[in-house]
Amino acid sequence: MTVDTPHLVHTEGESNRSAARSGWTAQIGDDATRRLLARDSAAFLHQSLSSPCLTAIARAEGIWIEDTTGRRYMDFHGNSVHHIGYGHPRLKAAIKAQLDELCFAPRRFTCEPAVELAETLGQLAPGDLGKVLFTTGGSDAIEVALRLARAATGRFKTLSFWDAFHGAGFGASSVGGEATFRSGIAGPLLPGAEHVAPWAARHCAYGHDNLEDSARACASMISYVLGREGDIAAVVAEPMRATPLPPAPGFWKAVREACNRHGTLLILDEIPTGLGKTGRFFASEHDGVVPDILVLGKALGGGILPIAAVIARRSLDVAGDYAIGHYTHEKNPVTTRAALTTIAIIREEGLVERAAELGDYAMARLRSFAERCPAIGDVRGRGLLFGVEIVRDRSSFEPDQALAERAYYRCLEAGLSFKISQGNVLTLSPPMVISRDELDAALGIVERAIMAG
């Protein structure tokens, strides 16, 4: 049967109906799975990118997910939660022990794991980032950061990038610029949410043809808008575009200086890129820039429990008389224990260094392959978050979305799951616990899928 785009991996900005165009088919192997899919479709509100589902997951372990028909996939998407892989034994043991010791704490009281996690994040964060608040998800954490920026500056406007994603909440989708999360909403989004075009590898909105010129123009536009508006509370951005595309050297320093000149805070969203994914514990470390507020989420709960964090400059602790983030699980001992254990695993198992080493290897292999494959326009990224841009030819860099989709479904058939960004960038985000042999096997699947045309 012809099926919709898998729930396992989504094509950003595309309807789940796109799989019908690709011709990709799958056999759902048992009646029980079909019944579960039918129940899912009947029970859940439908929305783009997540429903209806293709199949049902039965197991998740390490870098692998397995559906109810027994098909296994290396998961190079994971919604960015699987830095330490799925079901890490040490994490499961810590969660079980915490459940027996203390399972919940109302937010008006404190507990040891919550305080220890706040202290740990304050110690790990750069500069004077040392005051923390926890939420249950990254979208909520972004909104806490926005509230704090308003309280600290007395301003309400923000400046962010078109095409960026900062969460699905009302405020988070307002500062975000991805069309999927801004469409279908009657009436205006959050007032004062200004946007500029992001830097691009080539042919960007400013008319420049290389990363350095594009980044310089983008930084200049940010500085211009901050000066022109005069009352922007915060610039909100990901330190590395999730397409994925790292900035040119000096970009974030230029933005930091512009924020300083105009009294604007810099909020960096490290929800998908933090905790070592890019080969540094925080992605912003690559650029030598300290934000005023840093936001973490997704992988902070180790791929098991939901938790996110806002880490702010100590001098921004100015909202004591306001409610900027009253969340029921603000100091949950179980979720904070999960985050503490996740951080310990990342540090003690050397996963940050591993991400840097394997990421360099993967991109070197793919760039070597690109020299022999004219369908690849670029290979880019940092650490274990990298992308392969599929083009019709390298002279024009015209995107080849059809080939990207065909390659995507061939990879899925071969047991590799990932997502497509911007319609033509195969975006690969393997867990940091992946072995060299597993990574080689996955890259071989990608190369063969592209070469098949």
Q: Does one domain contain both 171 and 316?
A: yes
Q: Does one domain contain both 217 and 111?
A: yes
Which residues pair with residue 309 across a beta bridge?
134, 296
**Structure confidence by residue, pLDDT tens digits, 195-226:** 999 998 764 444 446 888 999 999 999 999 99
Q: What is the model's pLDDT at position 209?
A: 60
Report yes or no: 330 and 135 within 8 Å, Cβ to Cβ. Answer: yes
Q: Does one domain contain both 265 and 340?
A: yes
- The total number of structural domains that make up the chain: 2
Residue with tokens 């709960």: 301
- Smallest CA-to-CA distance from 202 within 164, 238, 243 is with 243
Q: Does one domain contain both 397 and 276?
A: no
pLDDT above 90: percentage of residues in the chain: 81
Q: Is the pLDDT of residue 16 over 70?
A: no
Q: For the domain that residue 401 is a member of, what is the CATH number?
A: 3.90.1150.10
**Structure confidence by residue, pLDDT tens digits, 369-392:** 999 999 999 999 999 999 999 999
Q: Average pLDDT in the 125-133 region?
A: 97
- The region of weakest confidence among 1-10, 235-244, 398-407 is 1-10
Q: Is residue 176 in a domain?
A: yes
Range of the domain at 389: 18-84+351-451
Which of 348, 371, 406 lies at the terminal end of a domain, its last residue? Answer: 348
CA 213: distance to chain centroid? 26
Confidence of residue 20 (pLDDT cuts 50, 70, 90): very low
CA dihedral 289, 295, 299, 305 (to 10 degrees): 160
What lies within 8 Å, CB to CB, of 220 at 6+ separation is none
State the Cα–Cα distance between residues 294 and 125, nearest whole angstrom: 8
Q: Does one domain contain both 111 and 76?
A: no
**Structure confidence by residue, pLDDT tens digits, 339-374:** 999 999 999 999 999 999 999 999 999 999 999 999
Q: Is residue 205 in a domain?
A: yes
Q: What is the model's pLDDT at position 29?
A: 64
Q: Is residue 9 in a domain?
A: no
Q: Average pLDDT in the 417-443 region?
A: 97
Q: For the domain that residue 277 is a member of, what is the CATH number?
A: 3.40.640.10
User: How crowded is the C-beta side of 185, counted as CA atoms within 13 Å?
Assistant: 15
Q: Average pLDDT in the 157-165 region?
A: 96
**Averaged pLDDT score across all residues of the chain:** 91
Q: Does one domain contain both 48 and 151?
A: no
Quickly list H helices, 349-419.
351-372, 401-413
Which of 314, 348, 382 lies at the terminal end of a domain, its last residue? Answer: 348
Burial of 341 (0-12, 13-18, 19+ CB in 10 A): buried
Confidence of residue 4 (pLDDT cuts 50, 70, 90): very low
Whole-model pTM: value is: 0.93
Q: Does one domain contain both 209 and 317?
A: yes
- Smallest CA-to-CA distance from 84 within 421, 355, 293 is with 355
Q: What is the model's pLDDT at position 179?
A: 84
Report yes or no: 72 and 79 within 8 Å, Cβ to Cβ. Answer: no
Q: Is residue 374 in a domain?
A: yes
Q: Does one domain contain both 73 and 140?
A: no
Q: Does one domain contain both 221 and 75?
A: no
Higher-pLDDT residue of 91, 21? 91
Q: Is residue 5 in a domain?
A: no
State the Cα–Cα distance between residues 391 and 360, nearest whole angstrom: 23
Helix axes 351-372, 333-348, angle to 10 degrees: 60
Burial of 36 (0-12, 13-18, 19+ CB in 10 A): middle
